[in-house]
Amino acid sequence: MDHNKLALPVGTTLDRFIMRKQEDFPYATGELSQLLRDIALAAKIVNREINRSGLIDIAGAYGSQNVQGEDQQKLDVIANIRFIRALRNGGEVCTIISEEDDEMIQTGNNQGKYVVAIDPLDGSSNIDVNVSIGTIFSIYRRVSPTGREGTAADCLQPGTHQVAAGYVIYGSSTMMVYTTGNGVNGFTYEHSLGEFFLSHPDIQTPQTGNIYSINEGSSDSFAPGVAAFVQHCKNQNFSARYIGSLVADFHRNLLKGGIYIYPATAKAPNGKLRLMYECNPLAFIVEQAGGKSSNGLQRTMEIEPKLPHERCPVFIGSKDLVEQAEALIAKANQPKAEEAKEKMVKEIPVKVAVAK
């Protein structure tokens, strides 16, 4: 009898995977690896809190609003505390941008080489109804000298400067998915062992798909190009799938193929999602998986951020679908561009030669 069959391997843990991949960071000496482990530790703690939220009165509204003007849930506040505490205690991060805090958070780790932008618990409106929610994070190398507090320049870097990004989804299973610019890998949490194990190596999103995810309750205020793309999806008999938790919608489309859209609307003229800790990290992930992300006109990761909580529209998912959306938006904008050009030409003063 083969004794090995009595104790089959349990798989590769997140910690072991990170250590093996440390050679991907020639400029680092273990700090980024430690930072990823700090995030994973906080995610385990938040996962525990979520799983018992209905039993110990930590579900429901907290009674205040965050900087976005959104009602905070108790778990929003708890998750924010857990992640900030883990990042501060880990020692690798000098400054944090969090959805739940108005200002940049200085950790006191002035020797830290990294900056983190984070949405500690995405999908607040779904917390009380047991729908999947998540955490989204983005990691940058600081650009200011170490030995002092992080600066706005450290925090407001374009997405192309990200060194790592990821998300955690708390659903039927808890998963952590991340990239360091060398592909995308997913890890599933094994509760009895308290470890994340590699379950989705080298994730590649389909080139196209038949799922579109958008809140059609705002369809009356969609721009013509967005409306045209939504109608195109319907004409192709696509499936409409919209959970209302960004991480859950994105995760499904990443694995199955599809497009997630949150455009500019009358209610949210600049879009609703935040560039630094929602759009940029997911754009990094989807591009590493073979997909695409844009604001309809420009690659998401090339947008130059001006504010920590800046919003932007987003079209993210399978490459073919994003490009189709961009093409219809460009086509709809063409008459406006030509009209503006004609108006500019008419307004150019004409010099008339006067005979002497």
Residue 96 lies in a domain: yes
- Boundary-marking domain end, from 144, 175, 200: 200
- Boundary-marking domain end, from 200, 223, 251: 200
| Local confidence band at 102 (pLDDT 50, 70, 90 cut-offs) | very high
Residue 355 lies in a domain: no
Q: Are residues 173 and 298 in the same domain?
A: no
Q: Are residues 28 and 164 in the same domain?
A: yes
| Local confidence band at 86 (pLDDT 50, 70, 90 cut-offs) | very high
Mean pLDDT of the region 104-127: 93
218 annotated as a binding-site residue = no
Top pLDDT among 354 and 216 is at: 216
119 annotated as a binding-site residue = yes
Q: Are residues 64 and 32 in the same domain?
A: yes
249 annotated as a binding-site residue = no
| Local confidence band at 126 (pLDDT 50, 70, 90 cut-offs) | confident
**CATH number, domain containing residue 252:** 3.40.190.80
Mean pLDDT of the region 55-83: 68
125 annotated as a binding-site residue = yes
At residue 317, does pLDDT exceed 60?
A: yes
Q: Are residues 195 and 262 in the same domain?
A: no
Mean pLDDT of the region 318-329: 98
The whole-number pLDDT of residue 352 equals 47
Mean pLDDT of the region 97-101: 95
The whole-number pLDDT of residue 92 equals 96
At residue 238, does pLDDT exceed 70?
A: yes
Which of 16-20, 182-186, 209-213, 287-291 has the least mean pLDDT?
Answer: 16-20
Residue 142 lies in a domain: yes
Mean pLDDT of the region 325-344: 78
The whole-number pLDDT of residue 22 equals 78
**CATH number, domain containing residue 108:** 3.30.540.10
Residue 250 lies in a domain: yes
Residue 67 lies in a domain: yes
Q: Are residues 58 and 181 in the same domain?
A: yes
Mean pLDDT of the region 274-297: 98
| Local confidence band at 230 (pLDDT 50, 70, 90 cut-offs) | very high
Which of 66-80, 260-274, 321-335 has the least mean pLDDT?
Answer: 66-80
At residue 229, does pLDDT exceed 60?
A: yes
The whole-number pLDDT of residue 356 equals 42
Q: Are residues 270 and 130 in the same domain?
A: no
pTM: 0.89
100 annotated as a binding-site residue = no
Q: Are residues 190 and 218 in the same domain?
A: no
The whole-number pLDDT of residue 219 equals 93
The whole-number pLDDT of residue 354 equals 47
- Boundary-marking domain end, from 162, 177, 200: 200
pLDDT tens across 158-201, in order? Answer: 999 999 999 999 998 999 999 999 999 999 999 999 999 999 99
Q: Are residues 181 and 266 in the same domain?
A: no
pLDDT tens across 22-65, in order? Answer: 776 666 668 899 999 999 999 999 999 888 866 545 555 544 55
Residue 346 lies in a domain: no
242 annotated as a binding-site residue = yes
How confident is the prediction for the chain on average, in pLDDT? 89
Q: Are residues 233 and 116 in the same domain?
A: no
Mean pLDDT of the region 143-164: 97
124 annotated as a binding-site residue = yes
Q: Are residues 186 and 40 in the same domain?
A: yes
Q: Which among 187, 188, 195, 193 is positioned nearest to 173, based on CA atoms?
A: 188
122 annotated as a binding-site residue = yes
Q: Are residues 300 and 164 in the same domain?
A: no
Residue 90 belongs to domain spanning: 12-200
Residue 76 lies in a domain: yes
149 annotated as a binding-site residue = no
Q: How many domains does the chain have?
A: 2
254 annotated as a binding-site residue = no
Share of the chain above pLDDT 70, in %: 84
140 annotated as a binding-site residue = no
Residue 7 lies in a domain: no
Q: Are residues 264 and 158 in the same domain?
A: no
